[in-house]
Chain A
């Protein structure tokens, strides 16, 4: 059975990247991962018994992100008076980077479940069945979440470009 240390050695960086994609902000991502991984470590035996500990942890982290009203991490983040350093880094392709940043800020306005679904499919490249498992919903729901998100994105994208 994998130990917590081995799990953290191999998966912490990937989870942190995933949290950055969910929150769009490195500080919020750190807080989200910290809160989740504290619980993971305290309940490691239960986590390790899961068929796939990684998916189990990803589900914990995703739920924590979606249920921010009930959790404490968002409150803590919002109350913390640190300057926002989440300004995206630039690229050489000035105009195209502007377009891409439009997408990034558009993502920030999405409902959390929709954003999580997009991250899981287009960043983590997971099959719909696994996304459904992580979100705890039906595969059909995953597909409708994605198509709804893409539909609004296309509308806004057209507006931005024209």
Chain B
């Protein structure tokens, strides 16, 4: 009896069911918004690693550590470091709605002891790595594991990624930068566009914009669009990493043209603009930045860790990677680059 009453109560209330048409449209709208947001953030992750590398290019007049607006934190040390330096730059994909953020751009900026020029070394985000205390996963996940799910802690995410990168490469990381959304567009605005030189034509699968082979000036949204392109490139994510290096090279060049490298007002304005979107780990970044005037050239050399496919991930190439990492550890990337011209990204 009770059961029949239950059935009847359910059936009688079927008339409460609203029509599906408006709901269907609302679902499609929300999906479109979330898809756009995801793409935008993923592009921003790559772009922001670029900005971090630019930070290394800017800086001899960076605000003093005691300046209230200083976006970088440091002790009162004025020691200029000697020897080779490695800066870890992470570009964050902050998927606002769900998972903790992934570091989709992982870049080591290597400054050799002879201060000849900076080297940008991309580590592919799909690289399979050992995550301490956990299991094997992709490199970009280390940040998420470290940061934690509920209230992601960027400094912990950075720490775990730094350990993974140090274990993987055997390289000492002297300092690091974590960049999030929105800095890319701001800095591109400050720079008034960036010149990028591509070895071949790229057609955006998102906007259908065509980036011709050769050099071109891109504004903020265009360079974001370029950095979003991964599918359809012969080498996928690794080609995207190379494009990121090309954008960095263009930004450093542009900063030089604008006199930004020697204009303290412009520099501090740029740093204040980027400030809140910048997290710095390791207390000696200003010390590191003081190295830049010593550089013979700020024109960077783009390199990538040699990898092999291990679908769906990538592994360090067992034949080529050890020699590359030896060269990085022993600070002789110039000779490695000369001996492996195919491993050098054409930036100009």
Contact = CB atoms under 8 A, between A and B. Distances in A.
Interface of A: 8, 12-13, 16-17, 20-21, 24-26, 29-30, 33-34, 37-38, 41-42, 86, 88-89, 91, 99-100, 103-104, 107, 118-119, 122-123, 150, 153-154, 157
Contacts of A119: 10
The 9 A-B pairs at the shortest CB distance, nearest first, are namely: A123-B10, A103-B9, A122-B6, A37-B27, A12-B20, A41-B31, A17-B17, A38-B30, A26-B18
A157 B18 CA distance: 29
A43 to B, nearest CB: 11
Given A34-B27, A38-B27, A13 B20 contact: yes
A38 B13 CA distance: 26
Given A91-B12, A103-B5, A8 B18 contact: no
Contacts of B23: 12, 16, 30, 33-34
Interface residues of B, number: 26
B26 interface: yes
Contact of B17 (A26, A37, A38, A99): A26
A118 B34 CA distance: 34
Interface string B6-42: 1111111111111010011011101100110000000
Given A8-B27, A17-B17, A123-B10, 14 more contacts: A12-B24, A16-B18, A16-B20, A20-B17, A24-B13, A29-B17, A30-B18, A30-B26, A34-B23, A88-B12, A100-B12, A104-B9, A118-B6, A150-B3
A130 B30 CA distance: 31
B340 interface: no
- Select the residue from B2, B7, B24, B27 with max chain A CB neighbours within 10 A: B27
Task: Give the interface SS of chain B, mostly helix, strand, loop or mixed.
Answer: helix
A12 B18 CA distance: 11
10 contacts: A12-B20, A17-B14, A17-B17, A20-B14, A21-B10, A30-B18, A38-B27, A42-B31, A103-B5, A103-B9
Given A16-B23, A34-B27, A41-B31, A103 B13 contact: no
Nearest to A118: B6
A154 B1 CA distance: 10
A123 B16 contact: no
Contacts of A17: 14, 17
B118 to A, nearest CB: 39
Contacts of B28: 41
Contacts of A91: 12
Contacts of A26: 16-18
Contact of A107 (B8, B9, B27): B9
Contacts of B8: 100
B5 A21 contact: no
A41 B27 contact: yes
Contacts of A154: 2
B12 A153 contact: no
A100 B2 contact: no
Contacts of A122: 3, 6-7, 10
A123 B5 contact: no
Contacts of B10: 21, 119, 122-123
A108 to B, nearest CB: 11
Contact of B31 (A24, A38, A118, A123): A38
Nearest to B33: A38
A100 B9 contact: yes
